[in-house]
Amino acid sequence: MSHLEKQPIRVVVTGAAGQIAYSLLYIIAKGDVFGRDQPLILHLLDIPPMMEVLEGVVMEMADCALPLLHEVVPTADPVVAFHDVSAAFLVGAMPRKQGMERKDLLSANVKIFKVQGEALDKHARKDVKVLVVGNPANTNAIVCSKYAPSIPPENFTAMTRLDHNRARAQIAARANVPVACVSNVIIWGNHSSTQVPDASHAKVKINGNVVSASEAIKDEAWLKKQFIETVQKRGAAVIQARKMSSAMSAATAAADHMRSWFLGTDPDEFVSMGVVSDGSYGSPKGVVFSFPVTISNGKWKIVQDLKIDEFYLDMLTATGKELEEERAEAMAVIEA
């Protein structure tokens, strides 16, 4: 079916005048997320003081002359922004500065996700797929879901795909292969410095053969120390260098996450996604925890029965505990 025949879907991006959105909007509008034959109506939400900047973004989008982009709706009104949307990229939130942890943003950001949860509940399609990017992403996602009770909790996810991509890139560089040759890394837990990057199930394609990361790299000490720390601290390293948080890579990861969700994962591939926990792998139930997932027909499924090396167990417990603490703090902020 050509894009002239398919009905457009409505997609909202919040924080649309910000850094991440500036890269993300183009990736979405040119068809890299929902398919090259899927027309789009893009809803762009930001706050009232950013409306002039947003107008400039809208001009640039028109000037890209993108065939799939049927309409752009810039707004500061959540009612307009969330009306009838099939997908929501919740990016709009304060970014951290040097020296902060992401959870230091909790008191500033968590209320945004209550308001947006309520707006999604009232105005979005009931099958809307929601990706929370704004930090602290896992906790914001659980807040958003709580305030949107008419939308299934599994439709609310948080972004750890950037950590996943960072992990693939580190393994690829160490094994001296192109990044496309590395798959099935896992990010467990929170999108924070307690996250657990785990390469023990990763696959690396070398000279046409698929081997484990351990076999490809032959340096267990590196995999259990520098690899983990580099991925855990990559966001802070980018802030240190750029004086602003990751934007191009964050936009790419957001697009990857939503594309996998809408279009599915490859056979034998899994990706990392923050999803509401059912207690798998000893994680606390009901927090948004990053797991390896496979996706087909728009539904994610946590990969089960992976053998977890004992080395990671305490770290898994710690990241789960942090998520429970963040959830309690978020509820206290909202109820205060």
Residue 301 to residues 15, 34, 127, 148, 295, Cα–Cα distance (Å)? 29, 20, 17, 22, 6
Residue with tokens 């509820």: 331
238 binds, among ligand NAI, ligand OAA, none (CB under 5 to 8 A by kind): ligand OAA
Q: At its nearest, how many Å lie between ligand OAA and the CB of residue 95?
A: 6
Q: Rounded distance, CA 268 to CA 113, Å? A: 34
> DSSP label at 304?
P
Draw the binding track, 238-277, toward ligand NAI (x: CB under 6 A; -: no contact).
-------xxx--x---------------------------
Binds ligand NAI by CB under 6 A, chosen from 42, 112, 213, 228:
112
Within 202-261, the residues that bind ligand OAA by CB under 6 A are: 235-236, 238-239, 245-246, 250
Expressed in angstroms, the distance from the first to the final Cα of the chain is 52
Binds ligand OAA by CB under 6 A, chosen from 10, 43, 83, 102:
102
What is the separation of C-alpha 134 from the centre of its chain, rounded to a whole number of angstroms?
9
Q: At its nearest, how many Å lie between ligand OAA and the CB of residue 227?
A: 16
- Which CB atom, from 135 or from 283, has the smaller least distance to ligand NAI? 135
Q: What angle do CA 139, 166, 226 make, to 5 degrees?
A: 100
Q: Rounded distance, CA 23 to CA 16, Å? A: 10
Draw the binding track, 181-200, toward ligand NAI (x: CB under 6 A; -: no contact).
----------x---------
Q: How many binding residues for ligand NAI (CB under 6 A)? A: 28
Q: Is 200 in the site for ligand OAA (CB under 6 A)?
A: no
Q: At its nearest, how many Å lie between ligand NAI and the CB of residue 277?
A: 17
Q: At its nearest, how many Å lie between ligand NAI and the CB of residue 146?
A: 17
Pairing of strands 182-183, 203-206: antiparallel
Q: At its nearest, how many Å lie between ligand NAI and the CB of residue 99?
A: 14
Cβ–Cβ contacts within 10 Å for residue 299, how many?
Answer: 11
Q: Is 231 in the site for ligand NAI (CB under 6 A)?
A: no
CA nearest 92: which of 103, 79, 105? 105
Question: Which secondary-structure segment (H or E) carries 203?
Answer: strand 203-206
Identity of the residue numbered 294: T
Binding site for substrate, by residue number, is: 96, 102, 135, 166
**What is the contact surface with ligand NAI in residues (CB under 6 A)?**
14-15, 17-20, 45-47, 50, 91-96, 112, 133-135, 137, 159, 162, 191, 245-247, 250
